[in-house]
Every structure is written in structure tokens, then in C-alpha cells.
Copies of this chain bind each other. A is one copy, B any other.
């Protein structure tokens, strides 16, 4: 027996239409390359999205075809988001920080028909222009004349493109399972892989992210996404803010600039913001140096990597701002877990509270999680047992574009995150390592990250990496590679003695190699793949 309910499809269009009708007066404020502070309303944003949709239709873009963007967070990027998805095209956001050859691969693999490009990224594309054969033309995200000097073929500036178009568009009724957006993972191995989001996935993800124990957005919040719109839809904030009518503040190209962030927070009354830890370090450093304040700010959402406790404490004690950890992946739209206090939080000791808050939080309703051992057996949620983290849910990637499932999905349809995690008895997840970085010692796992954190806590150590090196008896044993602070000295024995009492005895690395520097990826992450390659001939003494 079926329910007798209207068959209304979950589409990004429904978010846009709701915002236009009920929150048309809410503001969108942007810093852009050409304007220090642009300001308009959702009503104007969506009128311009309609003009863009008309322009794209005029260019002959068909349902399901990809439109690429290389752009910062600002109002024009927002217009491209809604115009493309709601017209039935696919908004393909591209990370401009990738290597040029990766960008080229991604554009060609997605077969982007047009690229919308911030002026800052034009030189990057000019170097590639002869190789982006699928791209018919380039729209420069700037004022009239912005495309004048580029050598990119068939280039037009955004304002000229949409200038003559009507303010309304006959938005199609879309199937909720149709593609609305696309983002490639910046994997450390092999080529980037394309995740294709459906309208349904992003609407459900939006509802989930809006919950009070998640992002908790409402009409009276002012939200500033410092997480880039080229990375997993800025954690869905553009959709969520529109759905509830929250004022949106976009820092444009000034994402990492503490001065701009403080000025926007104070000037626009930002109440909640989201981004990676390095951004918050820049903001706090600026506040510290200038004595300026962030009086309206109440919440900071941190993802991308673990937020150091010192940053959380400084926000809380100096500025009355609560920091929430979150965790997700490109393959998860991205929200997986969010850290809000448990019901019994107030009854916990201060250290128990911190232990909870430093975890990445609990799965938001909609996401299922489990941790399994090497044999696939589910592990207990005791906060100690750690295993491969698997996830399942209606906004999680089922396969990659033109690749298929590959080995990222198990036979029951769970997605293998590639992360190693513990889950405590309340369901709070802590990410302890990457599956490929964990050291498999005699069938047991050792967390490389725990060992690295212990090593860098030594005052002489600037950076540390632990990899599994071949061992004739245990298959692998931990090898610690250390960069010392300039002028510091440390012996192998002193370094190893440092671990005593801090980790289990059998976790202590078997050897230490002192190096001048460690290899990093294009996005600044430690590249253990390159380190393993560099150390492949190493043998324990």
C-alpha cells in the first residue's frame, strides 16, 4: 500500500523559489575583485540568475550539460550556482588550487561546455587554453570590459553576457534524481574523480545541515562561508542560507585575510561562519595584533582538518565564540558528522567535555556510520577500538563519474571513507588516521597520526611524519621522520624516550630519521605517498 501524497520533487529550484518569495529582502554581501563591498538582495540575485539561465539557453546548453566555474565566493558565483542547477544544467565547481594538469584533466573529463572564471584565474587558464578542447567559451566574472585583455578564445564578461536578458526564466520541472552539481576529489593518488550530486541529495543535505544541532541557520542569522564555493558547494551554506533567508556574506578573494574577515564580521553582523583551521588562525592573529573584536559572532564551524584546542580556547575565552567540529568529504555532499554538545554535556568534567569537543561529532540524521576491522567485522563503539570508517546515506556518492563504483564501495553499498576512526559510546566519531597511512603491525593497526601528534609535541620538533616501513617479522613497523626547529638538536634515543608513557609500548616507532624537510601536496598537505616513495629502500637497523 502506497502513501497518498503529492509527488513533488526535491530540487534546488524549490530552494530558490522559496527564498525569492519569502526572503526576497534578505541581503547578500560580497567582496569581489572589482568591488570592495557589493550588496543586494536574494530577489535581485535570482532575477540575475534568471538572466543567466536565459543566456545559457541562448548559447544552446542542454539539460545535463556541464558548466564549469573557477571562482571565489561572491554573488556572481551564487548566481551561477542557482542558474545552472535550476535550469537543468550541472554546476561543475573546479578547485583553482589544483595543479594546472589536474584542472585540465577535470575540465576535459567533465566535458565542460563553458567556463566561468574569476579574473584572478584567467592567467592559469591562458596557459591551458589550447588544450581545453571541449570548452566553447569563457565567461570572465567581472564588469563589462573584464574580458577585453584575455587571450582566451571566445571570452565574454559576465555582465555583458546577461545584460540583455529578461529577469524571469521558465524554470523546468526537474526530476529530483537528475544531476545538479559536480565536484572532483583532489585525491592524493591517481586522477581526480568526479562526484555528481543530484537535486534530491543536496535538498536533503540542506535540510539536515539546517538542524539546530548542525549548522542551525535561520532568518535572523548572518552567515559567512569562508569555505570555498569551489569545494563541495561551500558545505551547502549557499543553499541552506537561501532556504531559511539568512543573510549571506561572501569574502571573495579575501578568504585567508584576517583583516577582511574581521571587517566583514563587525560590519555585517556575522553570527556564524565556517572554514578550515588556518583561516581562523589568521583571524585570531589579526584580532590579537589589533585588539579588534568580533562582537556579533557566536559560532565557528571548523572542518577540513582537526581544529587545535588552542584555537577553540582562544575563540571561546577571548571572544565568546563557540567552535564546532564537523567532518565530511566531497563524496558526502559533504556533511557526515557535526559536533554539538550531548544532552549530558553539562554533567561532564572539563576534560571529558574537551575530549568530546575535539571529536568530529555525531552523524547528522540521514548518515549511517560503522567502523570495521581488517576482516570487515564491526567494531564496538568504546572510544578506543579503531577501524575503517564506512558511511551510507541519501547524499553519499554511489559511484564516480565515468568510473563506476571502483573499490570505494563495499558489497552492501557502504562507502569506504578511507579514514580510520573511533566512535565513543555516545556516537561521537574521532578520525585517527587515513586507512592507507595506518601502520599494519602483525595484524594490528597503529595510528600514524597519534604518533605524529606525540612527536610534534616535543619542543625541538617542527614537523613529523610516521610511515609504515617493511619489517621481516611484523610486516610493517612505524618509522618516524622528523624535521627539527632550526638550531635544535635531538638524538634518536631522546626522541624515542619521549614516547614512553604517552603511547602503548608496542606503538613506539622502531627508528627515527632526521630530515631537512618533508614532501607536501599542491594543497599543502603532508604527502605520505611521496615520503613512502622516498623511503622505499629504508631498512630497520
A210 / chain B contacts, CB cutoff of 8 Å: 207, 210-212
Complex CA distance for A210 and B204, rounded to whole angstroms: 13
Q: Which of A2, A243, A365, A394 gathers the greatest number of chain B CB atoms within 10 Å?
A: A365
| Contact indicator per residue, chain A 155-183, by CB within 8 Å of chain B (1) or not (0) | 00000000000000000000101111000
A204 / chain B contacts, CB cutoff of 8 Å: 10, 207
Which of A113-121, A195-203, A435-443, A513-521 lies at the binding interface?
A: A195-203
Complex CA distance for A7 and B395, rounded to whole angstroms: 9
Complex CA distance for A393 and B4, rounded to whole angstroms: 12
Size of A's binding interface in residues, CB under 8 A: 77
Contact assessment for B25 and A344 in the assembled complex, using a CB-CB cutoff below 8 Å: yes
Contact assessment for A6 and B396 in the assembled complex, using a CB-CB cutoff below 8 Å: yes
Residue A480 CB within 8 A of the other chain: no
| Contact indicator per residue, chain A 202-222, by CB within 8 Å of chain B (1) or not (0) | 001001101111001111110
Q: Which of A22, A23, A90, A180 gathers the greatest number of chain B CB atoms within 10 Å?
A: A22
Contact assessment for A179 and B1 in the assembled complex, using a CB-CB cutoff below 8 Å: yes
A199 / chain B contacts, CB cutoff of 8 Å: 3
| Contact indicator per residue, chain A 401-416, by CB within 8 Å of chain B (1) or not (0) | 1000000000001010
Which residues of A from 51 to 102 have beta carbons under 8 Å from B?
A: 63-65, 90
| A391 nearest in chain B by CB position | B6
Which residues of A from 215 to 268 have beta carbons under 8 Å from B?
A: 216-221, 243-245, 247
Residue A150 CB within 8 A of the other chain: no
Which of A13-21, A126-134, A284-292, A313-321 lies at the binding interface?
A: A13-21
Selected from B23, B219, B365, the residue in CB contact (under 8 A) with A244 is B365
Complex CA distance for A148 and B389, rounded to whole angstroms: 52
Contact assessment for B211 and A6 in the assembled complex, using a CB-CB cutoff below 8 Å: no
Q: How far is the CB of A175 from chain B (nearest CB, A)?
A: 8
Contact assessment for B208 and A213 in the assembled complex, using a CB-CB cutoff below 8 Å: no
Which residues of A from 1 to 53 have beta carbons under 8 Å from B?
A: 1-10, 14-15, 17-18, 21-23, 25-26
9 A-B pairs within 8 Å (CB atoms) are namely: A1-B179, A2-B179, A3-B197, A6-B413, A7-B398, A14-B365, A26-B343, A211-B218, A220-B345
Closest 7 CB pairs of A and B: A3-B198, A1-B64, A207-B207, A22-B427, A212-B218, A8-B394, A4-B196
Contacts from A to B (Cβ < 8 Å): 1-10, 14-15, 17-18, 21-23, 25-26, 63-65, 90, 175, 177-180, 195-201, 204, 207-208, 210-213, 216-221, 243-245, 247, 340-345, 362-363, 365-366, 368, 392-401, 413, 415, 426-427
